[in-house]
Amino acid sequence: MIIQPVLPWPLLVPLLVALPAVVGWLCVAAGRQLSRGLQWCCVLLSVLTTLCGCLLLLNPGYVEQRPSANAPVWLVGVDTSASMAAPAEDDPAAPSRAQLAAQALQRFSSVRDREIIWLSLAESARAVDSASLLSQEAPGGAASHVMAGLAAQAESVRRRGRTLAGVVMVTDGRETNAKSWQALVSRAGASGCPVHVLPLGKTWQAPDLAVHTLHPFVHAYPGVETRIISTISNTRMGDLQLQVELADAQGNKISSQTLQLAAGEQKDVSFPLLASEGEYVVRVVPQPGESRTDNNATRITVRAVNARIRVFMAEGAPYWDSKFLAQYLRKQEVFDVRSVHRLSEKRFYHINSGDDDSAPSESPNMPTTLEGFSGFDIIVLGKGMEHFFNAESLAALQSYVREQGGILVLARGRCYAGKSEQFAELEPFVWASSGAAECRLLPSRAGTEQGLFGLLLPAAEARVWQELPPLEDVWPVAEVRPRTVVLAQSEQLPVLGIMRYGMGAVACINGEGLWKWDFYPEAKQHGNMYHEFWRRFLPWVQTAAEFMPGFDLSLHLERSSVQEGESASCRLSWRGLGRPDALSVQVLSLKDGKMQGEYRAVLRNGGVLPQWECSLGVLPAGEYLLRAVVPGTDTLAPECRLSVKSLPSESDNLNADPEAAVRVAEATGGLVLSAEISDDELARIFALPQGVSATEDVYCPLWNKWQVLAFMVLCLGTMWFIRRRKGLP
């Protein structure tokens, strides 16, 4: 027992001695009319009451340890988003991440004498009464805001004036917002506490069938078969036989194909189109066991290019390649061809589309100015170009490609003899000094990604490329220019490339001998690949230019796909006569065809080729068709496709991201735990911070008991009763 008097001892001791004596004497004097027995009874009662009052002055009591009002707090958060239902290992039979999290919660709940706040973490952080209730929660949250939720809870503890001793995070590391870890590290750093993490899970791809396309917008040229190609992917669905359907915009089936698709395999499916322009859907029927079905179809827009591609062809050293190419192009509906062939220094002949033959001429009669070149969409050059071009005409050709968005095709590799800096500037490759080889044209990965191979021509793995006759006179390349994409190569030697040059592009076939694909019987066994190559390649290379054939206005998106909440913008150019007073971009929803808005373009460059920029702002998730127009005119309106993708949902990707959780632990000095949590790790996690105590000493007085107060009332009440019975006041 401890005494803590309310008055100083020098004052309290005399008071304790004198007070009972004085009270007793006064009681004797006031009770003289009572009998002796009652008189002493009253004296005793008054003295006892006085002694109880003295007890109050002495303030006796004891010290008791109780939990501190500012005891440290621990946060234990468990990810309960839908991804936690995935297996913890890359094995369907492995326990789920949620099951391992429940086992970890049992270990954490064994800690005693610690104040722990249990949190369920998904779209937000939600407090749960106990670890057992938290372990029973089924994973199902539609989003992963694990770190953001913990950061908010840490800030809440700090604002309440409590000491945050530590944070434990049990998660697969997936975050909807990739920057949330920075907020958690900042909050934990402000509180001076470590964040311990238990990362769960590895790579896991849920069973799914997916349909997608690299080319959602396809141009259809007259006389050229249009093909729609989509890729079907099989993830953990076993070996399947699928019906892949091509449907119109209303969902009516046009055609179908049977596809054998093994687990883990993806294949391309190609549909030829009889009717070209329109909206089309490639789809597969959902299969039992799929984790999602929203990706079982993809939409593709096909737009007809009604204008013929205007081609000018110049050949200074006629050979079989130029003869076969000129004859073939003149017969194709899609091309409007004008050609000049040099026979000698003063002897040329011209054959144009619709002509069967032509009489020789003494003049090349070819374009030499920018205006002359601008009358064509594609310029095809053979060899011997030093006989056709001088410095002025070469400068005009450069301006045609660079500033007017023209296309130049070097059909037989290096097109001139000797040296020419002006020609060299237009070439996708820097040639080596000498040497020539024989090589096959083998598609590269870039050629597939660009849509030339696999979409228009046979895929890179097709046997035809290994069996076609090789190209001759393939020159070694000293350097591939930075803006060049190598579309085909053979043993690291570029054979086919395309280089963006200002607004236009230059394509180069490094070699000769393509004519053999149209002549040799062994080549004909694979179909007429010569015809297919030129019929597909020239329209495809036109898409690399700023302008489509017949269009004076161009429209290009900065990005063809953006996430919901991101703004989209596009670029417009004009090459026609005059300059439009205003340009705008119309946005139409492909879902219902309704106009979503019309946005005015802003002139950014008023040079030789004026350019505009147009910001479309933030659009809702969906597929959109963009159309550039000159208000108040009937100018041909170029179009393109914009995809606004929804923010990734929890089921879009079930791969764990343990590195993200580990990053937080390393930044805050926390532990990276394993599924088997040791006693030592538990002790370190829930150790008290230095200088912080979980309890405090509390003084408990003994006098403030109801029994003491009741005794005093009883004594005073009894004395009052005795005196009233005897008629005393």
Q: What is the pLDDT of residues 460-495, one digit of tens each?
A: 888 889 888 899 889 889 999 989 999 999 877 899
Say whether both 127 and 10 belong to one domain.
no
Which amino acid is located at 436 in the chain?
Answer: A
- Four-point Cα dihedral 400, 403, 405, 408, nearest 10: 40
Instruction: Reduce the DSSP state of residue 44 to 3 states and report it.
Output: helix
Q: For residue 690, tell me if it sits in a domain.
A: no
3-state secondary structure 107-158: HHHCCCCCEEEEEEECCCEEEECCHHHHHCCCCCECCCCHHHHHHHHHHHHH
CB atoms within 10 A of CB 331: 12
Largest CA distance in the chain: 163
CA angle, 407 as apex, 444 and 504 as ends, to 5°?
Answer: 90
Instruction: Reduce the DSSP state of residue 716 to 3 states and report it.
Output: helix
Which parts of the chain register pLDDT below 50? Answer: none
Q: What is the pLDDT of residues 308-353, one digit of tens each?
A: 889 999 998 888 888 888 888 888 888 889 988 888 888 888 877 7
Q: For residue 291, tell me if it sits in a domain.
A: yes
How far apart are alpha carbons 416 and 538 in whole angstroms? 22
Say whether both 508 and 442 belong to one domain.
yes
Whether this prediction's pTM lies above 0.85 is answered by no
Q: For residue 547, tell me if it sits in a domain.
A: no
Identify the CA nearest to 514 among candidates 495, 498, 497, 499.
Answer: 495
Say whether both 341 and 256 belong to one domain.
no
- Angstrom CA distances, 125 to 33, 85, 390, 628, 692, stand at 79, 18, 74, 47, 27
Say whether both 633 and 669 belong to one domain.
no
Question: What does the buried/exposed string (b/e) look like for 424-456 if buried means 16 or more CB atoms within 10 Å of the residue's CB?
Answer: eebbbbebeeeeebebbbbbbebbbebbbbbbb
CB 167 within 8 A of CB 75: yes
Q: For residue 692, tell me if it sits in a domain.
A: no
Say whether both 146 and 184 belong to one domain.
yes
Say whether both 232 and 261 belong to one domain.
yes
How far apart are alpha carbons 456 and 19 in whole angstroms? 115
CB 228 within 8 A of CB 218: yes
Q: Which H/E stretch holds residue 320?
A: helix 320-330
704: tokens are: 């403030």
What radius of gyration, in Å, describes the C-alpha atoms of the chain?
44
Say whether both 627 and 672 belong to one domain.
no
Q: Is 492 left (phi over 0), alpha (psi -120 to 50) or beta?
A: left
Q: How many residues does the chain have?
A: 729
Based on the structure, what is the number of domains in the chain? Answer: 5
CATH code at position 332:
3.40.50.880
Backbone angles phi, psi at 576, to 5 degrees: -80, -175
Q: For residue 49, tell me if it sits in a domain.
A: yes
Identify the CA nearest to 30 among candidates 17, 45, 16.
Answer: 45
- List, in sequence order, every residue forming a beta bridge with 454; answer none if it has no partner: none
Q: What is the pLDDT of residues 181-209, one digit of tens each?
A: 888 998 888 878 899 999 999 888 889 99
Residues spanned by the domain of 449: 309-542
Say whether both 62 and 118 belong to one domain.
no
Say whether both 36 and 162 belong to one domain.
no
CB atoms within 10 A of CB 183: 17
How far apart are alpha carbons 391 and 422 in whole angstroms? 8
| End-to-end CA gap in the chain | 40
Identify the CA nearest to 687 among candidates 331, 129, 184, 166.
Answer: 166
Q: For residue 693, tell me if it sits in a domain.
A: no
418: tokens are: 């000797």
**End position of a domain, from candidates 480, 513, 542:** 542
Q: Which residue has the tokens 């208000």?
A: 631
3-state secondary structure 146-200: HHHHHHHHHHHHHHCCCCEEEEEEEECCCCCCCCHHHHHHHHHHHHCCCEEEEEC
CA angle, 495 as apex, 538 and 324 as ends, to 5°?
Answer: 50
- Give one DSSP letter per residue of 474-509, joined into a string: EPPEEEE-TTEEEEEEETTEEEEEEEEETTEEEEEE
Q: For residue 526, tell me if it sits in a domain.
A: yes
How far apart are alpha carbons 282 and 686 in whole angstroms? 56
Q: Which H/E stretch holds residue 700?
A: strand 695-701
163: tokens are: 């000491």
pLDDT given at position 240:
93
pLDDT given at position 697:
64
426: tokens are: 């237009």
3-state secondary structure 353-402: CCCCCCCCECCCCCCCCHHHHCCCCEEEECCCHHHCCCHHHHHHHHHHHH
Backbone angles phi, psi at 517, to 5 degrees: -65, -20
How far apart are alpha carbons 536 and 525 in whole angstroms? 19
CB 150 within 8 A of CB 193: no
Q: How far is CA 15 from the centre of its chain?
A: 83
**End position of a domain, from candidates 304, 321, 354:** 304
Q: For residue 477, tell me if it sits in a domain.
A: yes
Cite the DSSP H helix spans in 525-586: 529-542
Indicate the pairing of strand 115-121 with strand 73-79: parallel
702: tokens are: 């003994």
413: tokens are: 């590799």
pLDDT given at position 24:
77
The DSSP call for residue 432 is P
- Angstrom CA distances, 239 to 235, 261, 264, 287, stand at 10, 6, 9, 12
Say whether both 226 and 334 belong to one domain.
no
Q: Report CA torsion sign: 363, 365, 366, 371.
A: positive
CATH code at position 107:
3.40.50.410
How far apart are alpha carbons 197 and 195 in whole angstroms? 6
Say whether both 497 and 361 belong to one domain.
yes
599: tokens are: 């946005």
**End position of a domain, from candidates 304, 334, 361:** 304
pLDDT given at position 703:
72
How far apart are alpha carbons 718 and 673 in whole angstroms? 71
pLDDT given at position 600:
94
How far apart are alpha carbons 51 and 63 in whole angstroms? 24
Which amino acid is located at 177 in the chain?
Answer: N
Q: Which H/E stretch holds residue 664?
A: helix 658-668
- List, in sequence order, every residue forming a beta bridge with 62; answer none if it has no partner: 700
CB 150 within 8 A of CB 119: yes
Contacts of 691 (CB under 8 A, 6+ apart): none
CATH code at position 281:
2.60.40.2550
69: tokens are: 């009002």
Say whether both 441 and 533 belong to one domain.
yes
Indicate the pairing of strand 378-381 with strand 595-600: unpaired
